[in-house]
Amino acid sequence: MSALLSVNELSRSFGGIKAVAGVGLSVDQGEIVGLVGPNGAGKTTLFNLITGTLKPDAGQVVFGGRRLVAGEPGANARLGLARSFQQATTIADLSVRAHLERAAVFPALGRPSFLLRRSAVMAVRERAAATVQEILVFAGLDRVAEESADALPYGLQKILGVAMALATGPKMLLADEPAAGLNGAETLVMEALLRRIRDTRGIALMVIEHDVPLVMRLSDRIVALAHGTVIAEGKPAEVRADRAFIEAYLGGEADFGAASGPEGEAHAA
Amino acid sequence: MFQQFLVVLGLTAAIYMLLALGFTLIFGIMRVVNFAHGEFVMLGAYAVYVLQDVVGLDYFVALPLAALLVGLAGVLAEILIFRRFTGDELGSMIVALALAVSLKGAVTVIFGVEGPPISRAITGAVEIGGTLLPKDQLFAAAVAVLAVAATHLLMTRSRLGLAMRAVAQAPDVARLQGISPWRTYPAAFAIGCFLAGLAGALTAPLYSIEPHMGDAALMRAFVVVVLGGLGSIPGALIAAFVLGAVDAGMSILFNPTIAALTSFGIVIAVLIARPAGILGRA
Amino acid sequence: MLQVLIGAAAAALAALPFLASDAFLYHVAILIGIEALLALSLHLTLRIGQLSLAQAAFMGMGAYASALLTRDLSLPFPAAFLAAVLIPAAIAAVLGTVILKVRGVHFALLTFVLGQAVVLIFVEFVVPFGGNNGLMRIPGAEIAGLPLQSRPAFYALTLVVLGAAFAVVARLVRGETGRILDGLAANEALTQSLGIDALAWRRLVFAVSGGVAGAAGSLYAHYLGYISPEAFGITATINALIMNVVGGVALLAGPLIGAVILVPLPELFRSALLYQQLFYGLSLLALMLFMPRGLGGLVVARRHAR
Ligand SMILES: Nc1ncnc2c1ncn2[C@@H]1O[C@H](COP(=O)(O)OP(=O)(O)OP(=O)(O)O)[C@@H](O)[C@H]1O
Ligand SMILES: [Mg+2]
C-alpha cells in the first residue's frame, strides 16, 4: 500500500535560517506518527509547508496520490488534510457549536464558485447539523456546545481546535502540540481523543508534541527533527534509545517524565 | 545632454531624499504611515511665505524658523492625534488622511484656492562644467544634503537617535531599559515634520505654492520610501537616486507625466514582488 | 429594529424628492446616490480588512468606459452601463490576484499609487481619454428609447442602481458568504485551514467593489455630461472613506448614512464649498478621536491589521 502522505526533500529558509532543510517522511493510512524535536527545530514550519500555508523553497508534498499545490492551504484542506494549531485559536466570539458548524460547512464552500453549484452545498448543509452534534459528543464538548469559545478553559479550546479539524471530514490530521499548555488531566483527555480519532475513524495523525512520554505512548512511529533535518526515525523505543535524538532533543539532561513541553507554561498564559 | 541629466539628477535626488527622510523616519519608529506628510511640506512652504512676505523676515531667517514651526506642529499632531492610534495601522492611516484633508482645507480657507505668490530671495545662476545652474536650486540641494547628513548623525550618534532606534526595533525591550516611547514618539514626529517643513520651505521659492502641493510631495516621498523599504533610511537615500534618475531621464526623453507613470510602475512592481522594499527587512 | 428603522429612512429618502418635486432636491439626491455607491465599494474592501485607496480610480474607469462607449461608439446606455460595471470589476479581479496578497499598510500604499497612476493615464493619453480636459458632451442616459435626462427620471435610475448594488452587497456580506468573510477577517489562518480559499474570496469581493464603483462612474458621467481626470483622484476616495467612518464602518448601511449626512452640506450652502474639505477633514478627525466606540467595524478591522 502506498503512503497517504509523503514528503520529499522539503526545504524552507527564513532569511539566513534554514528552518526546514531537505526533510523527507511518509505517513500511512491510519498511522499515528509523532514529530518531536527541540524548540525551533522546524516542526511547525514543516506543518505549514505540508498544508500549503508556506511555500517551500524546494521539495514536494504528495497526499492521497496527488501533488499538493503550495500556497493553497484551503484547497489542501478540502482534499482531507486538516490541522490544529499550536496555540488555541477561535474564529471570533462565537459559540462552540457555531465554530463546529463553520468547520463542517466551509470545506463545501471553499471557493466562490460554490455559488454556482448550490445543490451539492445544500446536501452538505443538511448534513452539517448532524455532523456537528456527533462531533460535539465525540470530542466531549456537548456540555459546552452553546458557550462562547473564547470563554472556554484553555484545555477545552485546544480540544475545540482538534474537533474543528475533525468536522472538516479529513483523511489525515496534523496536530501541532495538542497537549501544550494542558494540565495532567486535560492531557489524558486529549490523548484519549487523539487515539479514538484514529481507532474509530481510521484517520491518520501526525502529532507534534514536546511531552515525550505522551508522544511515545501514542505514536506508531516517531520522526525526530533538529535544525530542520530528520535526525532519527523509527519505533518509539528505537528513537528513545537513539543517541542523536537524546543529544539533540534532551541535551542529555532532560527529564522524560515532564508532563508538558518547555513552552507549556507560556502557552497556558 | 548627459551632463544636464547628471545635474538634474543630483538636484532632484537631494530634494527627494529630504522629502522621503521624514516620512520613512516616522514610519520606521512609530509604524505610522503619515498620509499628512505632504501637508507638512505644504505647511513649511506657507510658513516661509508668511514669515518672509507677510512678516518681512529675511529668507535665511524665515527658512529655519518655518521648519521649526512645522516640527512643532508635528509634535502637537503626535500628542493630540497619533498617540491614540499607536499600534493601530488602519486607524492611524485614517486619522492621517483626516489630518491631511483638514490641513489642506484650513490653508484653502485662510489663503485661498490659488495660493499666494512668493518672492524669490536667491536669484542668478552659476556655471559649473559648462552647465548653467540656478543658484536657488543649488542652495536648496545643498541644504537638503546637509539636513540629510545631520539627520543621519543624529540617528546614529546621539542618545536620542539610539533611543528612537531601540524603540523602533523592540518597543517592549526599550521600555524595560527605561526608554519611554512617549518621549521618543514626539521626537520622531518633531524631526520627521521638521524635515518635511524644511523641504517645503526650501522648494517654495522654486515652484509655486498652493493648497494641494502636498499631494505631489507625498507621492515623491512614497515612491522613494517604498523603493527603499518603509522605515529604512539608507534605502531611502539610494532610492532617491534611482528615482531621481528615472525622473530626470524620462522627463528629458518624454515628459513629466510619463516620468511619473514610470516611477509608479516601478513602485507597483516592487510592492507586489517585495512589499518590504528593495532594501527593507523582509 | 435597526433594520426596520434603516428601511423606513431609506424609503423616506426615496420618496422625498418625488413629494417635494424640487429640481434642486433631485440634484442633491442623485449626488447622494452616486457618492453612496462609491462609499459602498470602499465599504466592501474594508470588509476584507484592506483599505483600498484606488476606488475612485475604478469609478473613473466606469465613467470613461461608459462615456466613450456611448459617445464615440454609439452604444446604447444600458450596454455601456453594463460595460462600466464589468470592465472595472474584471480589472479589479485580475489586479486582485496579485495585489491582494499584499496586506496592511502596504496594500493602502499600493492602491494609493495605483489610483494615482490610473488618473495619470487619463491625463496622458489624450486619445481616447481627452487629457486634462476630460470628455465633454456625454450623451444622457436612455433606456429603450425612453430618455432619462430629466432629474426625476435620473433619480429613479439612481435609486434602482443603488438598490441593486445594496442587494448584491448584502447578499455577499450576510449569510453564508458573510460568515466566510468574517472568518477570514477574524482569523485567516484558522479559516483557511477549514478549507476556505482566502485569495479567491477576497478577489471576488474586490471585483464586486470595482463593479460597484464603476456603476457610480457611469451614473456620474451621464448625469453631468462631462468628466475630467481629477474627479477620480485620491480626494474622492478619501471622501468615500469619510462617509464610511461617519456612517459606521461595521454597518452595511454605513456608506448610505454617511453620504446622506455629508453630501448635501456643501450643496446646500454654496458658500460652504470653500469650507468643504476643512469640514470633511475635521469631522473625520473628531469622529476618529472622540467616537471610536461608534465605529464598531473599525474594531474588527483594527484587530486584523495588527
Ligand atoms: N515566519 C517566520 N519568519 C521568520 N522565521 C521563522 C518564521 N517561522 C519560523 N521561523 C524560524 O524558523 C525556525 C523554526 O521554527 P518553528 O516554529 O518551525 O519551530 P518549532 O519546531 O515549531 O518550535 P517550537 O517547538 O518552539 O514550536 C525558528 O528558528 C524560527 O525562528
Ligand atoms: Mg512549533
The string of pLDDT tens digits covering residues B31-74 is 888 999 999 999 999 999 999 999 999 999 999 999 999 999 99
Asked whether the predicted pLDDT for residue B4 surpasses 90, the reply is no
User: Is A263 inside a domain boundary?
Assistant: no
Q: How far is C183 from chain A (nearest CA, A)?
A: 6
How does the average pLDDT of chain A come out, rounded?
A: 88
Nine-digit cell at B228?
A: 527603499
A93 and A155 housed in the same domain: yes
Closest-CA residue of A relative to C192 is A74
Instruction: Give bridge partners of residue A222 from the DSSP assignment.
Output: A34, A234
User: Which residue has a Cα nearest atom 24 of ligand 1?
Assistant: A39
Asked whether the beta carbons of A198 and A32 are under 8 A apart, the reply is yes
CA B2 to chain CA mean position, Å: 28
DSSP classification of residue B213: H
Residue type (1 letter), A250: L
Partners of chain A (3+ Cβ pairs below 8 A): C
- Range C179-202 average pLDDT: 93
Q: Is the CB of A105 under 6 A from ligand 1?
A: no
> Which residue did the predictor score with more confidence, B276 or A74?
A74
User: Is C297 inside a domain boundary?
Assistant: no
* End residue of a domain, out of A169, A193, A220: A169
What is the B92 CA–ligand 2 centroid distance (Å)? 33
A93 and A143 housed in the same domain: yes
* End residue of a domain, out of A118, A142, A169: A169
User: Read out DSSP for A188-247?
Assistant: HHHHHHHHHHHHHH--EEEEE-S-HHHHHHH-SEEEEEETTEEEEEESHHHHHH-HHHII
Identify the pLDDT of residue B9.
83
Exposed (0-12), middle (13-18) or buried (19+): which is A263, by Cβ within 10 Å?
middle
User: Is C182 inside a domain boundary?
Assistant: yes
Closest-CA residue of C relative to B108 is C274
User: Which residue has a Cα nearest atom 26 of ligand 1?
Assistant: A39
User: Which residue has a Cα nearest atom 19 of ligand 1?
Assistant: A40
Residue type (1 letter), A151: A
Identify the pLDDT of residue A116.
78
Sign of CA dihedral A169, A175, A179, A180: negative
- Range C254-271 average pLDDT: 79
Integer CA distances (angstroms), A111 to B182, B196, C41, C170, C192, in order: 46, 46, 21, 18, 11
Instruction: Give bridge partners of residue A81 from the DSSP assignment.
Output: A172
A47 and A154 housed in the same domain: no
CA distance A115 to C177: 9
Number of domains in chain C: 1
Integer CA distances (angstroms), A126 to A77, A119, C177, in order: 21, 11, 17
How does the average pLDDT of chain C come out, rounded?
A: 87
Scanning the structure block, which residue is given the C-alpha cell 512652504? B45
Q: Is B176 on the interface with C (CB under 8 A)?
A: no
A208 and A174 housed in the same domain: yes
Confidence of residue C20 (pLDDT cuts 50, 70, 90): low
User: Is A268 inside a domain boundary?
Assistant: no
CA distance A154 to B242: 53
User: Which residue has a Cα nearest atom 3 of ligand 1?
Assistant: A14
> Which residue did the predictor score with more confidence, B273 or B146?
B146
What is the A243 CA–ligand 1 centroid distance (Å)? 24
Instruction: Give bridge partners of residue C111 from the DSSP assignment.
Output: none
- Range A129-139 average pLDDT: 95
* pLDDT tens string B201-216: 999 988 889 998 998 8
A177 and A150 housed in the same domain: no
Confidence of residue B248 (pLDDT cuts 50, 70, 90): confident
Q: Is the CB of A40 under 6 A from ligand 1?
A: yes
Asked whether the predicted pLDDT for residue A208 surpasses 60, the reply is yes
A34 and A157 housed in the same domain: no
3-state SS of C248-301 is: CCCCCCHHHHHHHHHCHHHHHCHHHHHHHHHHHHHHHHHHHHHCHHHCHHHHHH
Asked whether the beta carbons of A101 and A162 are under 8 A apart, the reply is no
Residue count of chain A? 269
> Are residues A85 and C187, on separate chains, in Cβ contact within 8 Å?
no
Q: With both helix axes pointing from N to C terminus, report the angle between B37-49 and B89-111 in degrees, rounded to the nearest 10.
A: 30
Closest-CA residue of C relative to A78 is C195
Question: For a pLDDT cut of 90, what percent of chain A falls above it?
Answer: 70
Asked whether the predicted pLDDT for residue C4 surpasses 90, the reply is no
Q: How far is B58 from chain C (nearest CA, A)?
A: 31
The beta-carbon neighbor of B94 closest among C104, C124, C245 is: C245
Sign of CA dihedral A190, A192, A193, A195: positive
Asked whether the beta carbons of A216 and A222 are under 8 A apart, the reply is yes
Identify the pLDDT of residue B279.
56
CA distance C220 to C212: 12
CATH code for the domain of A10: 3.40.50.300
* pLDDT tens string C91-149: 999 999 989 988 888 899 889 989 999 999 999 999 899 989 999 999 988 888 888 88
User: Which residue has a Cα nearest atom 8 of ligand 1?
Assistant: A45
DSSP classification of residue C242: H
* Chains B, C: CB pairs < 8 Å: 131
CA distance C230 to C263: 18
Integer CA distances (angstroms), C37 to A210, A212, C208, C214, C216, in order: 54, 59, 12, 9, 6
Asked whether the predicted pLDDT for residue B3 surpasses 80, the reply is no
> Are residues A164 and C194, on separate chains, in Cβ contact within 8 Å?
yes
* pLDDT tens string A21-78: 999 999 999 999 999 999 999 999 999 999 999 999 999 999 999 999 888 999 999 9
Q: How far is C230 from chain B (nearest CA, A)?
A: 12
Instruction: List the domain range (segments joined by +) for residue A242.
Output: 1-80+170-255
What is the A20 CA–ligand 1 centroid distance (Å)? 9
A1 and A76 housed in the same domain: yes
Number of domains in chain A: 2
Integer CA distances (angstroms), B139 to A219, B12, B205, in order: 75, 12, 11
User: Is C41 inside a domain boundary?
Assistant: yes
DSSP classification of residue A114: G
User: Is A262 inside a domain boundary?
Assistant: no
Identify the pLDDT of residue C298.
45
The 10 Å Cβ neighbour count of residue C267 is 15
Q: Is the CB of A228 under 6 A from ligand 1?
A: no
* End residue of a domain, out of A148, A169, A190: A169
Identify the pLDDT of residue B193.
96
Confidence of residue C23 (pLDDT cuts 50, 70, 90): confident
Q: Of the ranges A30-44, B184-198, C10-24, which one carries the lowest mean pLDDT score? A: C10-24
Question: For a pLDDT cut of 70, what percent of chain C falls above it?
Answer: 86
**In chain B, where the domains are located:** 2-213
Closest-CA residue of A relative to C195 is A74
Q: Is the CB of A264 under 6 A from ligand 1?
A: no
Name residues whose C-beta falls within 8 Å of residue B65's C-beta, 6 or more positions apart in sequence. Answer: B47, B51, B57
Instruction: List the domain range (segments joined by +) for residue C207.
Output: 25-233
Q: With both helix axes pointing from N to C terminus, report the angle between C77-99 and B256-273 in degrees, rounded to the nearest 10.
A: 50
